[in-house]
Amino acid sequence: MSTQQFSQERLMKVLLAPQISEKATYVADKHEQVIFRVAPDATKPEIKAAVEMMFKVNVNSVQVACVKGKVKRTGRFIGRRNNWKKAYVCLASGQEINFAASEQG
């Protein structure tokens, strides 16, 4: 699938933020994957096209996981955080996305 199938405006809204945690760092080192928080209605081809367009890298595959929102309590009121979706993006060998360098530049 190529980037031309999707509108550039849509692809800019698909990726919400990189997921930076201990687990994400471990996965990035071991499997050459990057984890992103993505729009709830995003599809695998859209995520692939968005990453390739924004970061100029080749994507091998995309795995998606839906994360259930936690139940939280404030005093006697019980609320629930929103459900969200994350994508494990597997990059082609030898390629990487460095978020620390891109923020400064």
DSSP per-residue letters across 18-31:
E--SHHHHHHHHHH
Q: What confidence score (pLDDT) does residue 97 get?
A: 79
Per the structure, the count of domains in the chain is 1
Retrieve residue 27's tokens.
Answer: 């996965």
Q: Considering the domain boundaries, does residue 100 fall inside one? A: no
Host domain of residue 68: 3-92
Q: Considering the domain boundaries, does residue 50 fall inside one? A: yes
User: Does residue 104 register a pLDDT over 50?
Assistant: no
Residue 40 DSSP code: T
| CATH at residue 52 | 3.30.70.330
Q: Considering the domain boundaries, does residue 104 fall inside one? A: no
Q: Considering the domain boundaries, does residue 71 fall inside one? A: yes
Q: How far apart are CA 1 and CA 29, in angstroms?
A: 27
- DSSP-based three-state secondary structure for 75: coil
Q: Considering the domain boundaries, does residue 103 fall inside one? A: no
- What predicted TM-score, i.e. pTM, was given to this entire model? 0.82
The model's pLDDT over 2-55, given as tens digits with 9 standing for 90+, comes to 556 888 899 999 999 999 999 999 988 888 899 999 999 999 999 999 999 999
Confidence of residue 105 (pLDDT cuts 50, 70, 90): very low
Q: Considering the domain boundaries, does residue 97 fall inside one? A: no
Q: How far apart are CA 31 and CA 11, in angstroms?
A: 25
Inter-residue contact 88 to 35 (CB < 8 Å): yes
